[in-house]
Amino acid sequence: MRDYDIFSLNEVFVDKNYSILEDFLPKQGYVVLDLDAGVGDYALLSSVRVGKRGKIISIEADPSTFQILKRNIRENGLKNVIPLNIFVSSQPKQNIDYIAEKFKLKKVDLIKMDIEGEEYNAIRGAKKTIAEFKPRIVAEIHSKKLREDILKFLGEYGYKLIFEKVKKDYGFYLDYFEFKP
């Protein structure tokens, strides 16, 4: 197993970065966008929680990691997880709005992002999804400047920062956002 896969598994299952707040845990029937799915650690956690009526769209840009993700989905029998091999950005056919349209999503309940500095670009490519579905968002944000840009952008859509954990040793913020008009 690669070092960054172990780090990712640790974030999800030991540090529980994406399950700190109960309201941000996937629930039965949820549609979840898992940006930077890695080998499928968060997908495994979420698949059980969303159940048969829910859906996880696990997006991984790296081709070799994507192959491992697909294998893990298959070997764990995750029928409600859809793997997608694209680099998420604000560009057409690479953004969150495009993904929501491509899969004809009627809702998006939660967006989990750990995309190594591309969080702001991904958020900019989610304007329609954010405005229409108002999903909760959990993001690892990899700089103070990106954090400020994301806070401002999401604030324009009625979002508030609900929780923040500063991971100084690793140089990022773990932020939980929710629509709060």
Specify the amino acid at residue 114: D
pTM (predicted TM-score): 0.90
In the structure encoding, which two tokens stand for residue 104, read together? 């004809």
Q: What is the CATH number of the domain that holds 112?
A: 3.40.50.150
Tell me, what's the pLDDT at 114? 87
Q: Which domain holds residue 144?
A: 3-179
Q: What is the pLDDT of residues 17-56, one digit of tens each?
A: 666 667 879 999 999 999 999 999 999 989 999 999 999 9
Specify the amino acid at residue 148: E
The low-confidence residues of the chain, meaning pLDDT below 50, are 7, 9, 13
User: How large a percentage of the chain has pLDDT more than 90?
Assistant: 73
In the chain, the number of structural domains is 1
Angle at 118 between CA 165 and CA 180, to 5 degrees: 55
